[in-house]
Each structure stands twice: as C-alpha cells, then as structure tokens.
Chain A
Amino acid sequence: MGVIVKKVELTWLDRTYVWPVMKGMGITFRHFIRQLFTRTSKRYTVQYPEMKRVMPAGYRGLHELKRFEDGAIKCVACFMCAEACPARCISIEAEEFSDLNITQGFEEKRPQVFKIDMLRCIYCGMCEEACPKDAIWLRNDYEVAAYDRLSMQYGKWDLMNTYAEADGKARITEDTTPTVPRRAITPPIAS
C-alpha cells in the first residue's frame, strides 16, 4: 500500500524565502517576548534548588519504613521485600522482641537490622508491592545523594525517619515496646 505524499505547492511569496523567514522570525520573537514577560514561577523551567517539583502521588522515591501510632515498626521481618528486590539491595536481620505471642495480637518479630543500599536500589517499588504489612513505602523524596558511599547505606533508623520532618512526626531512634494489640483477634468461637 502506497502512501500518497501531499505535495505542498509553494506560492511565489513562499518562494522568495524572505517572507517565510520573516514569519518564522515573528514566531520566535513572540516566544521571546512571552518568555521575557512570564514570571519565573510560571515558566516551564523549574529552577531547582529554589523551586522543587511536586511529585505525583505514585512517585517512587526514597523509602520509608512505616511505624504504628506508638512508634513501633510495622515491619515484621518476613523477608518478602528482600526476596522481591531485583537489585538485591535490602538486607534484613530479624529479632524476636517479646514473650507475647500471636494469640494476644502482638507481632513477635521485627527487624534488628534493616539496610537498603541506596546505591544499588533501582526504585522499582517491588518491595512496596511485596510487603504484606504495608510497612515499606516509596515516597516522593528524590534528593537521594551523598558525598560518600557509606552514607548511602540506609539503616533501619534512617529509613524510619526519612519522612519524619515532612510529615511532622518525631524522629525515633529506638524501638518502643508495643502496648496495643495490632489486630483484633477474634475470640475462638465457643462450641
């Protein structure tokens, strides 16, 4: 199947080349004037350090380890995220933290070490999807940079506090012992 190419017939005015040039210059001048009299905040360019782009809701930026109201970590160290991670950047060491058992509604496992190597992370969001507890989120911070490699190794406390300031929450540096059961356990039905 052939494509019919539309041949543009040039008028004599277009053939002079001078008139199309003037038209083109008119267009560029219009852009120039418009840009010149546009306020900086209205321009397309985001002047980075002063202005920051508002990221869309689904943006996958720096991770946050979520916590409960009382400050305890939501993560139960199930290793799902570490398994799902295609870049293998998550390393977890689990610990048991109380005598309370599952029947009383407490999780008894939590990460002692939760490390993400931000240099390896590809921000794919697989960990977020794999997490059964909704404990790891990728959020809108994209300014993940440092002067040395070591500070790109985010530990458990770094990850729990990544959005503390943005959300207006207190920074936490130690595990709080949970006081409230995490989920209501339906009492065994009396038979």
Chain B
Amino acid sequence: MDTLASLLHTSPAIAWMAVKIVIVFGGIFTLAAVFTWVERRGSAMIQDRIGPNRAALFGRIRIIGLQQLLADGLKFLFKEDLAPTDANKGLFWLAPFLAFVPAMLGFAVIPFGRSFVSGGTTYHLSVLDPGNGMGMLYPLAIGGMAVYGVLVAAWSSNNKWSILGGMRASAAMVSYEIGMSLAVVALFMTTGGYDPKDIIAAQGYLPWHWNVVPHFLGFIVFFTCMFAETNRLPFDFAEGESEIVAGFNTEYGSMKFSLLALAEYGHMMTASALIATLYFGGWQVPFVQNPTVALSITSFVLKLVFFAWVFVWIRWTLPRFRYDQLMHLGWKVMLPMSMVNLVFHAWRMSQGH
C-alpha cells in the first residue's frame, strides 16, 4: 500500500481510500450488471425456458451467454439519445444520475470484510471508516434519495404515464420507508449503536445469535420494505405494462434507460448488503470466530449474492400487488408490525435482556 501511495504521490490513507472505492464501486457496478443477466437467465430457468445464451465473442466463444451484458451495454451506448420535445431537458438528463448515484452511494458505510492491522495501521474494509458518526443512518437517508430519481425521471419527461408511475412509486417508497426505519430502530436499540461495525460485532459468529433470530418480525418487515424501496416486482409500481406503459421510464432510451435499469440493480445490491449486514451478521462467517480477511470477504459476498438472488427469485414467483393492496400492506400491516417489534424489544430490554 505504501509503495502504491508513493508511486501515486499521495498518502497511504488516500491511496487506500482510492483502492477501496475502486473495489467497492467497481464490484457493485459489475455485480449489478451481472445481475441483469442473472435475472433474465434465472427467470428463464424458473419458467422452464433457457434465456439469453446466444451472445458470443467473435460469434464463436459463448460463455453461457454472459457476454449479453457487453452486447446490451454496447447497444445502449450506440442508440440514439432522444429527449422529448416538451420534456424538461435539464432534469430529464439529471434523473438517471439521480437514480443511479444514490443506489451506489448507500454502499459506502457497509463493511464488506473484517478490519485488519498491517504495519501498525488498521485498515477497515468499508469506504467510510467506522466511527464516522453516520453509521447505518447514512444508507437509510441515501435510500430516501432514491425517490428523487424516480420522481424526477417521471416528472421531467412530461408524460402522463410517467408521472402516474413516478407518483405511485414515490408514494410506495415513502410509505414503506417508515416501517423499514422502525424495524431498523429496534435493531439499533438492541445493539446499542448504529455503526455497522457495532452491529456486526454484536451479532457474533453463531448464526442463531444473528439479528434475524431475535428480530424475525423486524426482518420480515425490513425485507418486504426493501422490495418496495428497490421498486422490484411484488411492488414495482414505477412501471406496469398493462396500466401505464413503461411507467417512469417510458420516455427514456439508450444509455439513460440503461442507467435507470442499472440503478434498480444497484439498489438491489445495496439492499442485499443491508439485509446481510443488519440481519445476517455482515462479514461474519458462521462458526468461525476470527475468520481471515479473505474468508470474511467471501462470506459477505456470498450473503450479498444470495440475497440478490432471493430478490430475483421472489420477483419471478409472486404476482404483483394492486396499488391499494400495497398501501394497505404498507400502512396497516408493515407499520404496526414494526411497531410491535419495536415495543417488544423495548419491553425485552426493560426486563434486562
């Protein structure tokens, strides 16, 4: 690390930060892109189809269709970039970034591996070191920013369907945020802190001490709300072919559409990272007390990929909700459930557990 820093004429801290940023965002971006393919291939398998397996390098080398990502990306880049005449051009251009950037930013505080000491300095495997004062509040706050991406995209494109989809989606996201936050608050209470490092340390290495066991109700609420937050299928109200065409991204094409789509997958990655960190022990390896750094990273990535796959899996299992059902579920089921969870844990703590 020191040699790299001296080569780049920076301090080791900055070099380490740069490396972390490249690894985290490169990794998340790649995973998000790969999951567009996993989604298509997985859905195909679930429906007894085969899915995209045709894309080939030089028309010959087929790696189970993984080049589809490359082909899609290239296609999107070379498509004509249209903006509707009556659209608010500035916001129309801004919206994909507003959607994409918060999806990636949420990952900044999540530790993806065990901290380690090398040469007298402690290296933390998260972009923002623990003890930054934001902790888990940061991804939740950034998650709230995601509403802007959808709403701005919808509003700026000056299209009735877009605005309907955007309004619906933002209403859903906002109402599910409350239940989600309350579920997380109960978790902060029992942990005694909201720093991801504390949360992970408090969970320990035994799977039955992970937060998912004592906070099972909270986990269900949080998990459900994550679907609403990421705008994925049981709650995908931003779009709906049968009702409002493509919803908030009706007017989008080429790379802008691609960014909006990638934002969804970025959200999915961040959401699975959050679930893994908050409820499944983060980088903790089951039954291994002090895992090596590599093992802890592997454990975290496996958990992340698994939950991302659960997102895909649920999407192709469940039918969509109606809008009123969504609101009913959000306000009359999820919110009371997380309230009950909160009160239960408060009572439990008052009993000295």
Contacts and interface: CB of A to CB of B under 8 A. Distances in A.
A45 B49 contact: yes
Nearest to A18: B220
Contacts of B314: 21, 25
B317 interface: yes
**Chain A contact residues: helix, strand, loop or mixed:** helix
Interface stretch (B39-47, B111-119, B344-352): B39-47
Given A18-B220, A29-B313, A47-B50, A24 B45 contact: no
Contact of A32 (B45, B50, B220): B45
A7 interface: no
Instruction: Find the residue from A18, A21, A27 having the highest chain B CB count within 10 A.
Output: A21
A24 B318 contact: yes
B48 A28 contact: no
B316 A28 contact: yes
A44 B47 CA distance: 11
Contacts of B45: 31-32, 35-36
A43 interface: yes
A24 B317 contact: yes
A40 to B, nearest CB: 8
Size class of B's contact patch?
10 to 19
B317 A45 contact: no
Given A18-B220, A35-B45, A28 B313 contact: yes
Contacts of B220: 18
Nearest to A46: B50
Contacts of B47: 31
B313 A31 contact: no
B122 to A, nearest CB: 41
Given A24-B317, A25-B313, A31 B48 contact: yes
Interface in B30-55: 42, 44-50
A24 B233 CA distance: 15
B50 A28 contact: no
B50 A45 contact: yes
Contacts of A27: 317
B60 to A, nearest CB: 14
Given A18-B220, A32-B42, A25 B48 contact: no
Nearest to A20: B318
Contacts of B316: 28
Interface string A4-37: 0000000000000010010011011101101110
A32 B46 contact: yes
A24 B318 CA distance: 8
Interface string B296-314: 0000000000000000011
Given A31-B47, A31-B48, A35-B49, 20 more contacts: A18-B220, A21-B314, A21-B318, A24-B317, A24-B318, A25-B313, A25-B314, A28-B46, A31-B45, A32-B42, A32-B45, A32-B46, A32-B313, A35-B44, A35-B45, A36-B45, A40-B50, A43-B48, A45-B49, A45-B50
Interface of A: 18, 21, 24-25, 27-29, 31-32, 34-36, 40, 43-45, 47
26 contacts: A21-B314, A21-B317, A21-B318, A24-B317, A24-B318, A25-B317, A27-B317, A28-B46, A28-B316, A28-B317, A29-B46, A29-B313, A31-B46, A31-B47, A31-B48, A32-B313, A34-B48, A35-B44, A35-B46, A35-B48, A35-B49, A40-B50, A43-B50, A44-B48, A44-B49, A45-B50
Q: Pick the 10 closest A-B CB pairs, nearest first.
A: A35-B45, A28-B317, A32-B45, A28-B46, A45-B50, A24-B317, A32-B46, A25-B317, A35-B48, A31-B46
